[in-house]
Amino acid sequence: MNRRCVITVGDLGEFGVVARIAGRLPQGGAVLLGPGDDAAVVSAPDGRVVVTTDLLIEGRHFRRDWSSGYDIGRKAAAQNLSDVMAMGAVPTGLVVGLGMPADATTGWLDELTDGFRDECDLVGASVVGGDITRCDLVVVSVTALGDLGGRPPVTRSGARPGDVVAFAGRLGHAAAGLALLRAGLAGPVELIDAHRCPRPPYARGPEAAGLGATAMLDVSDGLLQDLGHVAEAAGVALVLDPEAFTTPPAMREAARLLGVDPLDWVLSGGDDHALAATFPVHVRLPEGWNVVGHVIEGEGVQVKGLSLDRGGWDHFRE
């Protein structure tokens, strides 16, 4: 049975018309009816649809003088695609709501759309439509859909004492890049690029689900803060070993320039969209997963030998 999901947000045709004119809108196999009508139709073979949404606001989540339209498109897509993968699902479609000021040119919109296309291509997903309106700032709202492929979702609440804590992807790179930009420094370039355009470890999400991950999430607000959600949801404590984390030369150089401890970025920096998960201790983790701690009875997140005054990203705190 070919199950379908009808998605309606604003006027899906409006975003589709602009993108189709530029010839840039990707269409994957899950899209049964794409942009051009009042709603899109996306296949849902599993019978369940994973849904997540995010909002990016100019000046709060990005700056156009620091990031191109292409960078912003990729970043907006990545943070939603990563959330779907963190549930152990595979992304199928994105719906994009876009507010644009008068000074945003057609060329800038083309770049933004190209960014969405290229990020979606990494996972075989599609932009199925959206809506555009005039706005004082650039505002990008993305809703992502995903399919579990018959697997149970991997939630935050399944961690159990005895499990190991591991992560896949990069930690602290985007935070280091943002710190460099704020300080007016031009390098190391790889860190600035990490802030502009994250590289989530997409394939690791469904992989972790297949390996029997007991809990998993996307690290968007900082490892300590996000793992705190796992600890709270599961009613356990997570103990991290600071010596299990490594920092690349570029991050150490940036920390030297700014006079900070690079471990702060690793533990508290967001926007890299790494995946953090807990696994039964007997699971042999493949290359790409880094074991950094374990789960015990208790509550909260502990880091051996460190006082936890490191906070993560808080949308309501400057």
Q: Which positions make up the binding site for Mg(2+)?
A: 38, 52-54, 83, 131, 218, 221
Binding site feature residues for substrate: 61, 271, 313
The C-alpha atoms of residue 35 and residue 11 are separated, in whole angstroms, by 9
Query: Would you state the structure tokens that stand for residue 15, as one six-digit string?
Result: 């975003």
Binding site feature residues: 38, 52-54, 61, 83, 130-131, 156, 218, 220-221, 271, 313
Q: Which residues contact 100 (CB under 8 A, 6 or more apart)?
A: 109, 132, 133, 134, 135, 138
Query: Would you state the structure tokens that stand for residue 137, as one six-digit string?
Result: 């700032």
Helix 249-258 to helix 173-182 angle (10° resolution) is 30
Binding site feature residues for ATP: 130-131, 156, 220
Query: Would you state the structure tokens that stand for residue 164, as one six-digit string?
Result: 């190991």
